Structure 1
Amino acid sequence: MIDHLGLQCADAAAAAAFYERVFAPCGVREMMRYDTPHGPVIGLAGPAGQPQLWTSPLEGPGSRPVHLALAAPSRDAVDAVFAAAREAGAEILHEPRVWPEYHPGYYGVFFRDLDGNNVEAVHHGFPQG
């Protein structure tokens, strides 16, 4: 169900180093890092090697929405989540599309939940057919 979780941190690099150190016995390690004008976005992975815990800079003062991504079984399911979120009146952050900067075949939609969190439905793979 949960594909990955993103936490906004006062110091994303320090937070990632903390999680890496504390959860080293579980095989947690830094797998990806993207530099942004506000600081790094760091993906931590367990033994499977897929980044599932992300640390990033704060979105703004006093605001720390969580980023929660749920796995979708297909691109059609991502599109259906988009339609349901739009129908429910959710703020759409990014309509469904391919995100090649993450990896080939990454297809996701991003929107805000009722509490302002950044929620995503993501499918890792290429269209069937």
Structure 2
Amino acid sequence: METQSLHRGRLIDHIQLVVKDLPASQRFYEAVLAALDIPMGGTGDDYFWVDELFVSSADSPAAHGHLTGRHHLAFQAKDEAMVQAFYEAALKSGGTDNGAPGLRPYHPGYYAAFVIDPDGNNIEAVYHGPARRSADSVVVEFDE
């Protein structure tokens, strides 16, 4: 597996989902991530990856033969149209509705859509709206 670059200081280094049907998951994630303008990182016989998301089959050495449980993953979108495109791509690629695109009460401007992926994970695309723009980016430096 190829490494692009390391990013120190992030809360999450990577997430691994172990899935029962890798081709179905790959079709789903390729479609929804393309709608979010996120390129695939790479693939192998028993895995694929994108940025910090690693998805493998149960027979992958990294999986130790166990499927992961149900998770909620939220991907950032650039705008409401991208949330809509994510939702439509998900439904066309094996996902099921878990909340159509719309405003949510989490904070002003929180616009999101939710779908269930082929393995039962709750996958979200969210745009935080202009009300949250000034608080989006915080740079924290860490001494090594």
What range is the shorter-chain TM-score in? Answer: 0.3 to 0.5
Q: TM-score, normalised by structure 1?
A: 0.46
Normalised by the length of structure 2, the TM-score is 0.42
Higher share in strand: 1
Rg bigger for which structure?
Answer: 2
